[in-house]
Copies of this chain bind each other. A is one copy, B any other.
Amino acid sequence: MGHWDGFKGNKWRTSVDVRDFIQHNYTEYKGDDSFLEPAAESTEKLWTKLQELFEVQHEKNGVYDMDNNIPGTITSHEPGYLIKEEEKIVGLQTDVPLKQAFMPYGGINMANHSLVANGYETDDEMTKIFTDWRKTHNQGVFDAYTPEMRAARKNKIITGLPDAYGRGRIIGDYRRLALYGIDFLIAEKKKDLSLIGNKVMTDDVIRLREEVSEQIKALGQIKEMATYYGYDISEPAKNAQEAIQWTYFGYLAAIKSQNGAAMSIGRVSAFLDIYIERDLQSGLITENEAQEMIDHLIMKLRMVKFARTPEYNQLFSGYPIWATLSLAGMGIDGRSLVTKSDFRILHTLTNMGPSPEPNLTVLYSSHLPEGFRTYSAKVAKESSSIQFENDDLLRANWGSDDCAIACCVSATVMGKDMQFFGARANLAKAVLYAINGGVDEKTRAQVAPKYRPMTGDTLDYNEFIERYKDIMDWLAELYVNTLNVIHFMHDKYAYEAPQLAFMESDLKRTFATGIAGISHATDSIMAIKHGNVKVIRDEEGFAVDYIPQNEFPTYGNDNEEADAMANWIVEYFMAQIKRQHTYRNSTPTLSLLTITSNVVYGKATGNTPDGRRAGKPLAPGANPSYQDGKFLGEKNGLLASLNSTAKLDYTNALDGISNTQTINPNGLGKDDTTRIANLRNVMDGYFDNGGYHLNVNVFTTDLLLDAQAHPEKYPNLTIRVSGYAVKFRDLTAEQQADVIARTSHSKM
């Protein structure tokens, strides 16, 4: 069979256009999950072996093995296998399963620190090379940082900056490799290169020309890497196995050479389904074999590991790497993009049990076929391993039905957008800076400019809000400038050639900022406005605590005023972000997303006027507060909480709004069928209502308490935290306590 035999459409044949190929060739599936097959024998063997390795890894604190003297590149390692003869889809990051590569480009100190922290030796020669001769991203950033940037970082008003780790979140459109083969992609890139710049060699043109040359080199290396595994990927894939394998090779090149925080794989289900469907139709494979290949692909994604430092693990707990894989979604022509392979991929959570990775993400719409909506609700309920994003909002705001999620909630259009990812500003701490004249409440350092502090015994709303705006103005400016430094240096010292090689040469770049502590900022302002907040001062007159004397409306209870306040903060801050010069004139966006860093951020944030206690975790992402401050917390149940979140305006937070909810199974109904239907209905309503994202956990707090006490009983208990899933036992003790403290809704 020729590689394109039987495929329809023309446009995609002569220039790279994967979406056009999909639209002409995919088979929408409106049925239920009854066609799904159990795990093949090979899958069982491989998964058993992998679980043994996972167990070793767990006993060794998350590190199976580490390299210390082979810088990870696309071609740096010999081929590696789990059980060679059983693997339908091959390719490991290093030569040994779960062994973590040595990746010094982001920063030799971090790479060495992660070695030492995990009991490995550093290599003197590598240290010399990446100190004296080859500068790293981290060194570049700190060379250019201003003292103000360092202070903001140190005092954690801006946190999680990707200056000590790879920025990640860049998704190559790896499907291109399967559809076109690597030779065509190289030829297209060469054509692009010939068209970059004309007559005037500005820095921008020169940089882009160099980058595309690097991409071409990376494509050549990927071709070489594939030969190590016995594959010639010059030409397009000829069947489903090759299509899956080629696609994975593209992704593999990225994870072999880059350790970005989030290494997402994008959206592959409808694409791969076309090949599977063709092979099924021609009798080349059975459904069992189709599921086998999908299971094997997913198993590979469960194995991705990067060397990290303890500090990093505290911020992003449980070793996430965000191999985010986006499923389903609607087409702009009204058909859904649901295929049998969307079912097959979700079915891996049954065949191989729950798993944090890949970060399975359903692009949801109430217009999706009921069979799929029901099945995804079922899997969510049973595994607590998947998340949902509002595909109606994605299509409307990104102008494409080929979006995928990078990391947790960040949308990009496959092959056309890249993101400059960047951390978050702590707007709960900013409330305290506004009160204390820019002095940090923890360190007492003057971090923001010497604005006038508030001196009254109680907090005056008008006085406060002017100061809060000044602080947000200052913070937005400093934040964007800090990210400008980071992305300049990242491009300079740790450019992601293998990802960008599978994207347009001159693409749209978004510049992602983020807010942490939105609920506490909102509730604090509501307290100041309505709660007659009494200020407690220390002997130096510094405000250290706040006692709201009256009740006040809070975010998360479907209260119009509080929810509008949350929106105002986001809108105001985003407007300040937009005013700034952004690196490469990228398009600024903003997220309400903390991942698990809410714990670390909270630890660095003093008492807040809403009644939250110093050091306690911030509510994650856009979640309402679940703290036990006198007037705090979600009091009106799941639907009120969802309504509040749904009111946040996505157009001001195009990098995503993260919402994590835990539902007591009994709150959903008496039996599984009812529970599944109710969960589906809740999602239909929430997303129709404009909600952007939902992490769904279905279990009781008691289960978590038992898992906390008896971790050995729950080796695979997987839960959704802010934006990703994690094995409960891999969370830090603090993170476990935070997750347990969160609201588990027992009423709708």
Contact = CB atoms under 8 A, between A and B. Distances in A.
Given A143-B213, A146-B197, A206 B485 contact: yes
A133 B129 contact: yes
A443 interface: no
Contact of A581 (B129, B132, B200): B200
A210 interface: yes
A201 interface: yes
A133 B134 contact: yes
Contacts of A203: 203, 488, 583
Is the interface on chain A under 10, 10 to 19, 20 to 34, or 35 or more residues? 35 or more
Given A129-B129, A134-B129, A201-B581, A144 B206 contact: yes
A597 interface: no
B200 A481 contact: yes
Contacts of A477: 199
Nearest to A214: B143
Contacts of A140: 210
A202 B481 CA distance: 8
Interface in A471-512: 477, 480-482, 484-485, 488-489, 492
Interface string A156-198: 0000000000000000000000000000000000000010010
Contacts of A484: 201-202, 206
Nearest to A134: B134
A201 B484 CA distance: 6
Interface string A103-141: 000000000000000000000000001101110000010
Given A209-B144, A477-B199, A581-B200, A73 B134 contact: no
A71 interface: yes
Contacts of A130: 133
A147 interface: yes
A134 B209 CA distance: 19
B133 A71 contact: yes
Contacts of A209: 143-144, 146, 485
Nearest to A126: B133
A141 B203 CA distance: 13
A599 B595 CA distance: 66
Contacts of A207: 488
A140 B146 CA distance: 29
Given A133-B134, A143-B210, 17 more contacts: A73-B132, A129-B134, A143-B213, A143-B214, A144-B209, A144-B210, A144-B213, A146-B197, A199-B477, A200-B481, A200-B581, A201-B484, A201-B583, A206-B485, A206-B489, A207-B488, A209-B485
